Structure 1
Amino acid sequence: MTARGRAGGAARYLLIVGLLALLGLPTTAAPAAAGEPSSAPFLHVRIDAVTPDLVTTTSEPTLSVTGTITNVGDRPVRDVVARLEHAVAVTSSSGLRTTLDGSTDAYQPVGDFTNIAAEIPRGRAVGFTFSYPLRGDAVPSLGVDKPGVYPLLVNVNGTPDFGEAARLDDARFLLPVLGVPADPANSTGDAVADVVAPDTAKPVAVTMLWPLADKPRLAPGVPGGTTPVRLMNDDLAVSLASGGRLDTLLSAADFATSPAVDPDGQVARALCLTIDPDLLVTVNAMTAGYVVADSPDGMGTASHPGTGQAAATAWLDRLRALAKRICVAPTPYAQADLGALRRVGDGGLAAAATTNAGKVIDQILGVTATRGVTILGDGPLTAPALDLLNGQGATVAVAAASITAQDSSTGEPMIADLTPHRLSHQVVVAPFDPAVGAALAGVGTDPDLPTYVDPSLTVPLNHDSTIARRQDALAAMLWRALRPETEPRTQILLPPLKWSPQPDDAQAMLTALATTIRSGLAAPRPLPALVSETAAMPPGENPGPPSPDDVRGRFDDDVVETIGGQADRLRGLTAALTTDPRTGLTGQQYTAPLREDMLRALSQTESPRTRNDLARQRLAVVGRTITDLFGAVTIVNPGGSYTLATEHSPLPLAVRNDLAVPIRVWLQVDAPPGMKVTDLGEQEVPPGYLPLRVPIEVHFTQRVAVDVTLRTPDGLQLGEPVRLSVHSNAYGKVLFAITLSGAVVLALLVGRRLYHRFRGEPDPADLDRPRRPHPTGGEE
């Protein structure tokens, strides 16, 4: 071949390669390694159904697992096969997490690989079903011979184009077994003898906290008494309506504790509604009508009517009815980060977030919420949070225990220690298992990983299906009840405060709770009983201080400092406000939404990645509003000059109050030398105008500038200072001397005239005047 031919062939080859690259077609592909999933995703397996999801002695003796395998790669996959694998029962809290990720060495095949499809093209999906006996000596069988929590795995292999056969994906889930049903192959005909029942000799005392909470929805910077209220968006209307998230949570708790379903009230005793007061404040405001901000960030003033008034009214009425028959407890207001709040250092905000939160629930629901408990469902109990709680009175802190995948001293998997212990004279911690809390947090279509979970226990959430995550949560809830050797025999079940289970998820959680109680594996422990028993715990061995701070969700220093400054200013303004007798609105009520906005800025419901930026946006609006409130009380500037007729003429002023409540003020008048101003003292200015007359005394005649500043009784400046031009006509001592001299002269002249008249002789001053005729004759 000639050089030109070789060059032309090379050019054509490069052109083909370039076209293939442009079209996205692979020219080469690294083969997938056999035995482990490839780094490049080719297939994705999803668990669609597990039947039964909770195995009892009366369940069917066969387990069925249904799922879907989808080609998510960039090429077809041939010879797709799958099999079900199982592992021994979980023996530790950490195992509830570690068996769902990482190595597959602990798993053994239940049966051989099953052909799923000869080929799955790109974007296509194929279903599968595995059905195996739960027990029995025959193979295949799951080999479940006693109650427990059993990990299961679906292993999928295939051969991608340009690759080798490999394990391309797996899906894992936990199977809770409360009791083992009879083996049909070895049945003796005795229903009792053929089953394996759970050990109920040491039931777990269980308390389940059922959260009703949401993100902060009220638009920032709106003082109290403003109607209608403004929301940042209308998402809450959807959540409260039928089928919404909050409706699902309320309906599930209402149904599970109804007399028809729970005739002996056992579930109702174990369950306690954990309610965010900020949610109640928002929903209660919606019942009177509301508007929604037009701007995407919810910070603008333009708005349109909201659509959720009827849904809010119906939901709140149902909640009031439910709260009358089961326990109710508050979360920290707006689920504020107590550690960050401690760094703010404002006692009023700390009390509003903790000790006063129950009062909001009492007022709106008409019940008495459980006191003496602080529920930390979204983050760990840190040292700053403990410092804050120490200043708020005696409390039981419900917080996550501390565990990792392995004990650092023994290398063994860790079991969460749920023994309550006293951290200080004021605070006793009642721990819950973080592995269980993390499993509950993964339920639903919006799974989350709480920040209290150690990184060694992190499990990918989005890879697993909603069914698999529900199975994991059910198993985690029941694990301690199925292990009678694990101490202590107490358990708190606490999902994340902003929880998003689907209706089937919520029903499954409460059904599992009821099943464990009625089977004798658990006994209800009402939250008030837990609080009273835990609070009575004597001092013991201190397990060490909590973690220094939650670095994964920590609020930045500038956010904390901004809140501290705003809280100081607002507290000073509030101290000057009084009650409007026309409306009954108090100063505290008027400024309360702005204090609540500061707590909303510290809410842990937002993602750690965005919470600081969202806090800054909210605080910027709050700061402008506080500045506007200070500027709303002003001295009316006359725009001209005052002229004082005398040295004691009062200085007329007018104070304008654009606030919705009266305010106590003090006039600071900076007078020049020669002018004495009488202090009027404290003045109460109602909404509108208040004329004032300031007594002054002037000892000069000239035009001067007088600066007048309006302040609160504590000295905080209100509005802008006003400079008045004052002209005095008072002559002081000179005028007094002239007036006195004139009076003396006048007195002398009058005296002289009277002297001459009494003597009957004319006054010499009248000698040059012409005489007038007298009426009787003669001349005058």
Structure 2
Amino acid sequence: MTVPRRPSIVAPRIVTLLAILAMLLVPAVLPQAAAQPGDESGSAPFVVISIDSVDPNVVTTASNPTVTVTGTVSNVGDRTVRDVVARLEHAPAVSSAAALRTSLTGGTAQFSAVGGFVTLTDQLDRGQRTPFRFSYPLRSDTDPSLRVTEPGVYPLLVNVNGTPDYGAPARLDDARFLLPVLGVPREDDADGAPTVGALGLDGVIPPDTRRPVATTMLWPLADRPRLAPGVPGGTAPVRLMDDELATSLAPGGRLDTLLGAAEFATSEPVDPEGEVSRALCLAVDPDLLVTVNAMTGGYVVADASDGLGAASHPGTGQTAAIGWLDRLRALAARMCVVATPYAQADLDALQRVNDPGLSHFTTVAAADLVDQLLGVQSVRGATLVGDGPLTRRVVDLLGAQGNTVAIAAADATADDGPDLAVRRVSPQVVAAPTDPTVGAALAAAGRAPVAPNYLDDSLAVPLRDGSHTARRQDALGAMLWRTLDPENEPRSQILMPPLKWNLDPDDAQAILTTLATTIRAGLATAAPLPAVIAGAAAAPPPADPDAVAAVAPQTRFDDGVVNTIAGQVGRLWGLTAALTTNEQTGLTGLQYTAPLREDMLRALSQAERPAVRNELAEQRLAVVGRTVADLFGAVTIVNPGGSYTLATERSPLPLALRNDLAVPIRVRLVVDAPPGMSVTDIGEQELPPGYLPIHIPVEVHFSQRVAVDVALRTPDGLTLGEPVRLSVHSNAYGKVLFFITLAAAAVLITLTARRLWHRFRGQPDPADLDRPESSDRPEPRDRPESSDPEPAPVEPPR
């Protein structure tokens, strides 16, 4: 009998299950082709656009009337992209400071096409690149054109579409940048000949120069801290954490580029009237000058990757440091120089440390270092707040140092533009705000773009490393925007780039050329920094405390870092007060401990990236803390290791003191004596480097072995070294021994006087009556013969 086979249901179920799994997994595996640029969904991009050139980068009335944009499209995805097309789009001129940022990100509704899509390639495989080039007139009677009819700052966009494998045609990426137009050049006809119209000769549209903007630009020369922490002054050679500064100072390096650009832009052939020289001011970090000056005498570099180890090798930047510093001195002698806070320290965190001496050095005395090392008189009366906002703590710190003008970024959001009016924020402090949108654009220029901490999140723009030229265009547009609209208020601006600025030579040249162009075009006038300070200082009361932020942003330094500095600097000031000058070397106590205080400011440097600031600060402060402890432990009492025996009750207690510091120190001995021992205070002693034997006068009123504790302290009471316990044995008997000695002396004197009395009278002393007769005395053995008769015996008296 044949059993009929049942239809299998396993296979269909397996197929169905696999189909369901495929439906679930495929969307996760395949990126969505329709993901837009700037999408925060986490989808990986397929292509990236890089703007390679914009010609002209700043349009003037003398420019070519045609704008040419070139660049490349790179396939950075995981699959081939087909039918790659692109087009150029444009938007109306920027009408607000916030739009300098918001037009570079977000939606694209404000953009319209200049011309149609152009096919770049039929197939763009993984890792491949394809170029593009767009060239359109600024204005034309016929399309396509950019339709620019008046000066302004215009956003442009390159839009790229394509079809990724396994996906649908979609917009894959866009690249945006700003095109500043100082004046509209002539309009060419169809044959390329200039046209003459109602707008004037050759149809040129000049800018409105009725209300030029008073412009001041700070040109920063600063770097992240490089000196190795925990090394007191007078130590030679100096040790650096790394040798990157040698590269930066050498030809083609970052600091060489910044200095060279300022030298060229302010030279007499380029700036014969001195407009740029008056508008520009070098913002120099005193810590950088201290480091470079130390490098000129030869230096070593730490072997450890973190720069904290003692092992080192010779540095290579001595020659570069000498040349760069000489060039800076020559440039500083003919233009404005202002000091930044030492090591670009976070002033908000410094106020939380609450050490007046450290605050004064950071904001006031550090300028003296600049004057000393450059041989100039730097500008006083201004404080560059730097990367952080102007908070109430910063105002309090600056107000305690005297009158000053705080140059800091104003608050601004995408919906609320910056208020750039100069205002008094305390009786001593006047705020001179800078535009945060301009500062952010300048910070993004160069090969290493950064986003300043004072910038609100609503104004943040993705920093695309591939669009170096686009970021440069954004910086130029931001610099010029206020000058191109005569209705913008106020009619003054301070251009404040990040203090640690990383520009290529082309970037630096373009920025300074743009500054010079605006001044020569009549759109701006040079406003020297001293004049800005004088004008701001005249701001009338009352103060407006609401004009500053209440607290610093979340990127502030931790309380642990602040508390550590507060504890260390207090002990260090106490030690410094006890130190004096080494007459042989000329090294003072203040100079000896200065590098350690400077290390604490380097720990608060805003030049470090916010993500690692606290970690690096803790590492640096750990080394400084060990060094401070070593300094206190370097002044000690030499422990004899045995016991002292005092011969009399007034025998001095001998000790030896040791000073391993490079400078003398004033000390006091504190002796903890037991009852029955009195110690004379020898007062304050100056202990030179090396050993110093001393004797402590004591008076002991007992005879026994006791323990005496001796400690060293500074005149202010800080403990130095480790206390020493001495074992002291005294043979003194006090008053009993004194009276016994007197009695014995009296008896001796009496007996001696009686014997002399009887001898003077020729009488025998009664004390001799009990002596034996001569016949009773034993005969001496082996007595030699003598011819002298023996003396007759003396008969005792009866």
Q: What TM-score does the superposition give when structure 1 sets the normalisation length? A: 0.95
CA RMSD, aligned part only? 2.5
Q: Which residue of the partner structure matches residue 505 of structure 1? A: 507
Residues 56/749 of structure 1: CA separation in 2 closer, same or farther (3 Å cut) = same
Q: Secondary structure at the match of 1:523?
A: strand
**2:38–2:106: 8 Å Cα contact kept in structure 1?**
no
Matching residue within 209, 218, 223 for 2:232:
223
Q: Which moved more, 1:243-252 or 1:6-15?
A: 6-15
Q: Which moved more, 1:748-757 or 1:691-700?
A: 748-757
**1:28–1:162: 8 Å Cα contact kept in structure 2?**
no
Matching residue within 64, 72, 79 for 2:68:
64
Matching residue within 166, 170, 173 for 2:174:
170
Deviation at 1:754, TM superposition (A): 2.6
Q: Which residue of the partner structure matches residue 778 of structure 2? A: none
What amino acid is aligned across from residue 710 of structure 1 in structure 2?
L
Indicate whether 1:553 and 2:567 are aligned. Answer: no
Q: Please give the alpha-carbon distance, in whole angstroms, between the structure 2 residues aligned to 1:100 and 1:777.
A: 138
What amino acid is aligned across from residue 517 of structure 2 in structure 1?
T
Indicate whether 1:144 and 2:111 are aligned. Answer: no
Stretches of structure 2 that go unaligned for 5 or more consecutive residues are 776-786
Q: Please give the alpha-carbon distance, in whole angstroms, between the structure 2 residues aligned to 1:31 and 1:653.
A: 83
Q: Please give the alpha-carbon distance, in whole angstroms, between the structure 2 residues aligned to 1:373 and 1:114.
A: 53
Q: Which residue of the partner structure matches residue 659 of structure 2? A: 657
Deviation at 1:9, TM superposition (A): 9.8
Residues 685-764 of structure 1: pairs in structure 2 closer than 5 A: 685-764=687-766
Q: Secondary structure at the match of 2:321?
A: helix
Q: Please give the alpha-carbon distance, in whole angstroms, between the structure 2 residues aligned to 1:246 and 1:722.
A: 53
What amino acid is aligned across from residue 730 of structure 2 in structure 1?
S
Residues 222-371 of structure 1: pairs in structure 2 closer than 5 A: 222-371=231-380
What amino acid is aligned across from residue 502 of structure 2 in structure 1?
S
Deviation at 1:591, TM superposition (A): 0.3
What amino acid is aligned across from residue 677 of structure 1 in structure 2?
V
Task: Provide the aligned length of Structure 1 versus Structure 2.
Answer: 771
Indicate whether 1:188 and 2:190 are aligned. Answer: no
Residues 40/746 of structure 1: CA separation in 2 closer, same or farther (3 Å cut) = closer
Per-residue CA deviation, residues 579-603 of structure 1 (Å, 9 max, x unaligned), is: 0000000000000000001101111
Q: Please give the alpha-carbon distance, in whole angstroms, between the structure 1 residues aligned to 2:410 and 2:47.
A: 37
Q: Please give the alpha-carbon distance, in whole angstroms, between the structure 2 residues aligned to 1:549 and 1:657.
A: 46
What amino acid is aligned across from residue 73 of structure 2 in structure 1?
I
Deviation at 1:463, TM superposition (A): 5.7
Per-residue CA deviation, residues 593-637 of structure 1 (Å, 9 max, x unaligned), is: 000011011111112111011111111000000000000000000
Deviation at 1:462, TM superposition (A): 2.4
Deviation at 1:747, TM superposition (A): 1.6
Q: Which residue of the partner structure matches residue 456 of structure 1? A: 458
Matching residue within 489, 492, 498 for 1:490:
492
Deviation at 1:6, TM superposition (A): 8.5
Q: Secondary structure at the match of 1:391?
A: helix
Q: Which residue of the partner structure matches residue 537 of structure 1? A: 539
Stretches of structure 1 that go unaligned for 5 or more consecutive residues are 408-413
Residues 775/620 of structure 1: CA separation in 2 closer, same or farther (3 Å cut) = farther
Deviation at 1:65, TM superposition (A): 0.4
Q: Which residue of the partner structure matches residue 154 of structure 1? A: 158
Indicate whether 1:381 and 2:390 are aligned. Answer: yes
**2:34–2:172: 8 Å Cα contact kept in structure 1?**
no
Deviation at 1:377, TM superposition (A): 2.2
Deviation at 1:547, TM superposition (A): 1.3
Q: Please give the alpha-carbon distance, in whole angstroms, between the structure 2 residues aligned to 1:623 and 1:3.
A: 84
Q: Secondary structure at the match of 1:596?
A: helix
Per-residue CA deviation, residues 535-562 of structure 1 (Å, 9 max, x unaligned), is: 1221157261411222232111111111
Deviation at 1:165, TM superposition (A): 1.2
Percentage identity across paired residues of the two chains: 65
**2:341–2:383: 8 Å Cα contact kept in structure 1?**
yes
Residues 648-687 of structure 1: pairs in structure 2 closer than 5 A: 648-687=650-689
Residues 221/510 of structure 1: CA separation in 2 closer, same or farther (3 Å cut) = same
Q: Please give the alpha-carbon distance, in whole angstroms, between the structure 2 residues aligned to 1:220 and 1:36.
A: 44
Q: Secondary structure at the match of 1:652?
A: strand
Q: Please give the alpha-carbon distance, in whole angstroms, between the structure 2 residues aligned to 1:405 and 1:663.
A: 59
Indicate whether 1:32 and 2:33 are aligned. Answer: yes
Structure 1 or 2, whichever has the larger Rg, is 2
Residues 544-623 of structure 1: pairs in structure 2 closer than 5 A: 544-623=546-625
Q: Secondary structure at the match of 1:184?
A: coil
Residues 34-183 of structure 1: pairs in structure 2 closer than 5 A: 39-183=43-187
Deviation at 1:737, TM superposition (A): 1.7
**1:756–1:762: 8 Å Cα contact kept in structure 2?**
yes
Q: Which residue of the partner structure matches residue 438 of structure 2? A: 436
Q: Secondary structure at the match of 1:679?
A: coil
**1:320–1:365: 8 Å Cα contact kept in structure 2?**
yes
**1:677–1:697: 8 Å Cα contact kept in structure 2?**
yes
Q: Please give the alpha-carbon distance, in whole angstroms, between the structure 1 residues aligned to 2:755 and 2:37.
A: 135
**2:447–2:465: 8 Å Cα contact kept in structure 1?**
no
Q: Please give the alpha-carbon distance, in whole angstroms, between the structure 1 residues aligned to 2:37 and 2:720.
A: 71
Q: Please give the alpha-carbon distance, in whole angstroms, between the structure 2 residues aligned to 1:426 and 1:742.
A: 83
Deviation at 1:504, TM superposition (A): 0.4
Deviation at 1:42, TM superposition (A): 1.1
Q: Please give the alpha-carbon distance, in whole angstroms, between the structure 1 residues aligned to 2:464 and 2:674.
A: 74
Residues 36/45 of structure 1: CA separation in 2 closer, same or farther (3 Å cut) = closer
Deviation at 1:424, TM superposition (A): 0.8
Q: Which residue of the partner structure matches residue 779 of structure 2? A: none
Deviation at 1:778, TM superposition (A): 5.5
What amino acid is aligned across from residue 589 of structure 2 in structure 1?
G
Residues 34/656 of structure 1: CA separation in 2 closer, same or farther (3 Å cut) = closer
Q: Please give the alpha-carbon distance, in whole angstroms, between the structure 2 residues aligned to 1:165 and 1:193.
A: 44
**1:644–1:728: 8 Å Cα contact kept in structure 2?**
yes
Q: Secondary structure at the match of 1:705?
A: strand
Deviation at 1:184, TM superposition (A): 1.0
Q: Secondary structure at the match of 2:483?
A: coil
Residues 91/232 of structure 1: CA separation in 2 closer, same or farther (3 Å cut) = same
Per-residue CA deviation, residues 110-163 of structure 1 (Å, 9 max, x unaligned), is: 011111111111111110000000112210010111111000000111111121
Q: Please give the alpha-carbon distance, in whole angstroms, between the structure 2 residues aligned to 1:597 and 1:192.
A: 63
Q: Which residue of the partner structure matches residue 410 of structure 1? A: none
Q: Which residue of the partner structure matches residue 220 of structure 2? A: 211
Q: Please give the alpha-carbon distance, in whole angstroms, between the structure 1 residues aligned to 2:547 and 2:769.
A: 115
Per-residue CA deviation, residues 260-292 of structure 1 (Å, 9 max, x unaligned), is: 111111111110000110101111111111111
Q: Please give the alpha-carbon distance, in whole angstroms, between the structure 2 residues aligned to 1:240 and 1:388.
A: 34
Q: Please give the alpha-carbon distance, in whole angstroms, between the structure 2 residues aligned to 1:268 and 1:34.
A: 49
Q: What TM-score does the superposition give when structure 2 sets the normalisation length? A: 0.93
Q: Please give the alpha-carbon distance, in whole angstroms, between the structure 1 residues aligned to 2:131 and 2:13.
A: 47
Residues 29/561 of structure 1: CA separation in 2 closer, same or farther (3 Å cut) = closer
Residues 760/34 of structure 1: CA separation in 2 closer, same or farther (3 Å cut) = closer
Q: Which moved more, 1:2-11 or 1:305-314?
A: 2-11
Q: Please give the alpha-carbon distance, in whole angstroms, between the structure 2 residues aligned to 1:234 and 1:744.
A: 85
Q: Which moved more, 1:455-464 or 1:665-674?
A: 455-464
What amino acid is aligned across from residue 303 of structure 1 in structure 2?
S
Q: Secondary structure at the match of 2:316?
A: coil
Q: Which residue of the partner structure matches residue 780 of structure 2? A: none
Q: Please give the alpha-carbon distance, in whole angstroms, between the structure 1 residues aligned to 2:227 and 2:121.
A: 53
**2:292–2:325: 8 Å Cα contact kept in structure 1?**
yes
Q: Which moved more, 1:62-71 or 1:753-762?
A: 753-762
Residues 106/286 of structure 1: CA separation in 2 closer, same or farther (3 Å cut) = same
Residues 302/129 of structure 1: CA separation in 2 closer, same or farther (3 Å cut) = same
